Amino acid sequence: EVTDPKFSAKWNAIVENAIKLIRKYSSDINIIVGSYWNNSIDSMKDLDKPYDEHIVYTFHCYDPFLFTHQAAYWVDEMPRDFRIDYPGSVPKYRSEIKRLGLEYMQTYEEVKTEKFTPDYFMGRFAEAVRVAEERNVPMYCGEYGVINLASAENTLNWYKDISSAFEKCSIGRAAWSYKGVDYGFIDGHLDGVLDELVKYL
């Protein structure tokens, strides 16, 4: 995962070289390409135009970050006892992310509703969907999910909303993750909602 946007041009050059090498052996295999900011959807527009008709643009989605990463031990500013609900209160998200010093991740100032809805994700996807349509490239969300410290009910709410947006935008996806790695489905914390949740994957 490329992080710093200053490497965008170098990354695009690496992608081009890799595609040329792959095409020597396979002329029509689909090649999945992501951008910087850890495959952020906001950086997808900075990928070069597809080199042929067998390119797929990928991104990761963990929005809203404050919910999907609550109490995440690898986020330095995140308290280990922090909890927040989804769809929750957008004003609370704004105040909490400011209080924690995580505004570099998201501010939620663009959200006009009191609570998060599927339209939040539609707004997050809109620019990338436009770019993909202009370039005739399919989109694939290669990672999305909720940390296993969130409540099962809130996690189900989140999957319902993001799934609705994926369906409307015809975006393929793969949840992170099936087992373990702090985001799994089968460690027991989702047992009460799992039968319903899998409908939205």
* Nearest-angstrom CA–CA distance, 63 and 69: 9
Q: Are 94 and 65 in contact (CB under 8 A)?
A: no
Phi first, then psi: what are they for 104, rounded to 5°?
-65, -20
Quick check: is 16 catalytic?
A: no
DSSP-H helix ranges across the chain: 8-23, 36-39, 65-68, 90-100, 118-135, 152-169, 194-197
Among the options 1, 114, 167, 196, which is catalytic? 1
* Nearest-angstrom CA–CA distance, 44 and 58: 8
Q: Which residues contact residue 144 at a Cβ distance below 8 angstroms, ignoring those fewer than 6 apart? A: 60, 61, 62, 162, 173, 175, 176
* Nearest-angstrom CA–CA distance, 9 and 11: 5
Catalytic residue positions, numbered = 1
